[in-house]
Structure 1
Amino acid sequence: MKTLKSLILILMFIVIGSFAGEKILIDYGKDKCSFCSMPVKNGKVGSLAITADGKKLTFCTIECAVGYYIQNKDTIKQLKVPNYLNPSEFLDAKDAVYLQSEKLKTPMGMNISAYKTKEDALKMQKEYGGKIMNWEELQNAIKEGFLPRFQHKMHHH
């Protein structure tokens, strides 16, 4: 009887959980970056994409996620980046505000972090220096300063 009650409780949580909005999960330390193949370890910059066919892709950093996006725009339905100040909150990459600061190191070296609001990014910039970018500026920075390092990964159509 106790097992049945436990099972019912577990099932209730599963059902309730599945209606509580989509839960974005990255298995830090186990998932591999879909761009560079490094393990995804840092929750403050580990990002993900959902493809048009519903497949989840994980990335070790925002720069890898955006690099992949630039090369595969047609196949990406959603690109999500973590809010640096609240890493369990994933933001739509197009709506986030970015800070590139040498004092906020990331595994791939472009040192890019994402924020929900411009105010948050400005506060971080005040403390850590660096350059604030929007989605378009970030893509240009990735095209110029990051993708050339991965020419062998470039897809030419």
Structure 2
Amino acid sequence: MFVAKHVRLEVELSIMPQDNSSSATHLGGEDASGQMVKHGVDPDRLANLRAILIEPKVRLLQQILASPTGALSAVELAARNEITESTIRDHLRNLQSRDPEIVTALEADASPVPNGIPRKYYAVTEYGIDLLQQVNLYDQIGVLYEVYEAAELELPDSDERSVTITDVEEYEHRPLPGWL
């Protein structure tokens, strides 16, 4: 279902004319009477929609939102995925660098942070939630929440770490997004 929606949206986006001369592109079409109808399209929003429709990125956004705290560290996301922490951080930085931000970085509320506990956590912004809702990828988050509650997760390279996933998840000074 995700692939079909993604392909349909990509096809729709790829046939849209590109007009970089203004902040909005006007698409033309005819109504039932044959009159031209113009629709305002925000090219920045389209670019952001395309950005979140890349499978690892949409999965990261959904996983962050499916967490009890609404914010996860890169190491927690690595425990939920088959991609490296480094790749996860790259995706999150890309989503954070957009205007407006799709993801925001939050710092732990205490200093110093215990050894092995992440200092930086990522939360999806209200704009990011709006994008997910627009492409009908927000409603699955409740199911993911239940899946992760039942799953036995393990940190990558857990043998070499001084903490467990439970230690990270239960850290009392982890930040919460402002919308939670």
TM range (shorter): under 0.3
How high is the TM-score relative to the length of structure 2? 0.26
Query: Which has the larger strand fraction?
Result: 1
Higher relative contact order (CA 8 A, sep 6+): 2
Q: Which has the higher helix share?
A: 2
Larger C-alpha radius of gyration, 1 or 2?
Answer: 2
